[in-house]
Structure 1
């Protein structure tokens, strides 16, 4: 018996490598969805993890840091916000 494929319809799904039950601490949306500023999830709305191990959508944490009241602190633990691995990138520049 010979089979000929006449039509192929591929379906794919992606997800961030994060626990399923985690949500952004600022917008409260799951990491696999978008922040309130983006239309589509993915590379345009990446996740940023701080040295304190809290993660947020990039746009959410940038907006949070710009607020005067936040004093550039993590909204979850109030430690000074610093993106994980930012020292290595600064040294390379």
Structure 2
């Protein structure tokens, strides 16, 4: 018996490598959702880790750091903010 496939649909799922219950400490939106500035989750609404181990949407922490020129601290613990490439 020969089977001919007439059509097929492919689906994918992605998720950031953060705890599923975690939310951005600034906007309080889930990391698998978007920040208030974005419309579609994914690469345009990425997450960033700080050396202090806190995680935020990229746009949220950029806006936070821009609101107080000269002061670059984590909004949750007030330690100096330093972005790291991956959680350690």
TM over 0.5: yes
Aligned length: 85
Q: CA deviation at 1:3?
A: 2.3
User: Normalising by structure 1, what TM-score?
Assistant: 0.83
CA contact under 8 A between 1:35 and 1:59: conserved in structure 2? yes
**Alpha-carbon shift at residue 69 of structure 1 (Å):** 8.1
Which structure has the highest helix share of the two?
Answer: 1
Structure 1 unpaired stretches of 5+ = 86-93
- Which structure ranks higher in relative contact order (CA pairs < 8 Å, sequence separation ≥ 6)? 2
Q: CA RMSD in A?
A: 1.7
Unaligned runs of 5+ in 2: none
